[in-house]
Amino acid sequence: MIYIFIAISLFISIVLSALIIPRILVVAFRKKLFDIPDERKVHSGIIPRLGGISFVPTILFSLAFTTGLRYLIGYEIAIDSLHFIVPEFYFLVCGLTLLYLSGIKDDLVGLRYRSKFVIQIIAASLIPLSGLWINNLYGLFGIEELTPWLGIPFTILLTVFIVNAINLIDGIDGLASGLSSISLLTLGSLYIYYGQWIYAMLAFSTLGVLLPFFYYNVFGNVDRCKKIFMGDTGSLTLGYILAFLAISYTNNNPERAPYSEGAIVIAFSTLIVPMFDVIRVILVRARNHKGLFDADRNHIHHKFLDMGFSSRKTMICILAMALSFSIVNIILASVINNNILLLADITIWIGLNLWFDKIRDRKKKKIYAKSTIDRG
């Protein structure tokens, strides 16, 4: 029966999102609320970036309606789980509200990065305030249990990092929503496996809202005013939900799920591409003595575009990479030490990026040589 409730939450999110997005498009074009192309952006034409406005209301409605329906039918949440589920989800809603409102302001009139960062830290602090924080590294770097003095600040920093990673990876059509969908599907399935139904419902409610958005974002026709971006409203709240689900899966709590040595690697392997990409970009900027928050064209999707891939093919390749990382890590987590698995992930990521750099540089040399010949 519980599978039906998860299916209902997914269905409600899909339907509501499909109904809301066309109306957002109408309002955006009437009020001329567009994302204007520049030298860094790969799209052309005027496209609204308010798609993320539909995310939080749809997710909360779907989750609340399905949970209420569960209670009416008699499938109540176990009483011994309520003492951690209730504060976690209440504070989750508080954090989402802060990021949702700041995202709307940023998408409409702009918001200074310092203000956004402060709001993100406050929202991130609400997760450990609810009692949810990373309390075990499962032997990663030789560390097992974490004290609150270490685990809580680490959880806050990691949440802010994931929120920004999703925001920064949102550079081409379908990439942020596609990567998030893979993570949500993976984490949602893992929660079903461990019988953590309320977390699974959150994952699939969020997945449901992304499916219609993905269609409009990837396949929408600009000339027919059917294309839309998620904007900061969408990427920030999406990153926050993903961070919450990953941290919850990582949290070592016997009342939540049995101890699993590979929990931390499995949880965050679903976010390897956006997380590793941001780390690499920051390191490259530091090496080149550039501002860490200065915009550039050095993200993974920019590399694929510079190699000659179309936006659609770039999106598909990166999603395939993310899915591969998730599947391989889940399979190997039970048989390989966490440190070895993390080292392998880092090595593969570095190797792939070096390979991409060679292809990109070769492509640029060919273009330069051809232009030189044409001028001659």
Q: Which residue carries 């080292």 as its tokens?
A: 343
Alpha-carbon distance of 363 to 357, in angstroms, equals 10
The response to whether 337 counts as a known ligand-binding position is: no
Ramachandran assignment for 110, one of left (phi > 0), alpha (psi -120 to 50 degrees), beta (any other): left
Tell me which H or E stretch contains 21.
helix 2-31
**Tokens in use for 354?**
């070096």
Contact 251, 191 (CB under 8 A): no
Q: Which residue carries 């192309």 as its tokens?
A: 37
Q: Which residues of 257-294 are buried (b: 16+ CB within 10 A; e: fewer)?
A: beebebbbbbbbbbbbbbbbbbebbeeebeeeeeeeee
Q: From the centroid of its chain, how far is CA 167?
A: 8
Residue by residue, DSSP assigns 76-140 as PPPHHHHHHHHHHHHHHHHHHHHHHHHHHHHHHT---HHHHHHHHHHHHHHHHHTT----B-TTG
From the number of C-beta atoms within 10 Å of its C-beta (0-12, 13-18, 19+), residue 28 rates as buried
The response to whether 232 counts as a known ligand-binding position is: yes
Q: Which residues of 110-119 are buried (b: 16+ CB within 10 A; e: fewer)?
A: ebeeeebeeb
Cα torsion 340, 345, 349, 355: sign:
positive
- Binding site: which residues? 167, 232
- Binding site for Mg(2+): which residues? 167, 232
